[in-house]
Amino acid sequence: MPELLSVVAVIGGIAAVLASLIALAARARRRGATGAGIAGAMAAYDEAFHGTAHDTYVEVQAQADRTVPIPAPDDR
């Protein structure tokens, strides 16, 4: 019986920790406190594993600026 009680206590503790983390995440999302942290973490990850990401972004923006607008069908 003591083994069962310890297993139940461990499972209950894990459930309590998960519930508190879920509540904390929901509160942070409501307050909008997660945007900058996640953006910073993803920028660091992107820079570490995709070193040419910035160069690619600059090239895509340059290509977007070079596109010629298509005239409307009724323009002559």
**pLDDT tens digit string along 31-40?**
776 677 777 7
CA nearest neighbour of 57 among 38, 43, 70, 69: 43
Q: Please state, as a whole number, how many other Cβ atoms lie within 10 Å of the Cβ of residue 28.
A: 13
Handedness of CA 27, 33, 36, 40 (dihedral sign): negative
54 versus 5: which is more confidently predicted? 5
Per the document, the length of the chain is 76
pTM confidence score:
0.43
Residue-wise pLDDT for 40-65, tens only, equals 777 777 778 877 877 888 888 888 88
Q: What percent of the chain has pLDDT over 70?
A: 96
Share of the chain above pLDDT 90, in %: 26
Q: What is the pLDDT of residue 33?
A: 67
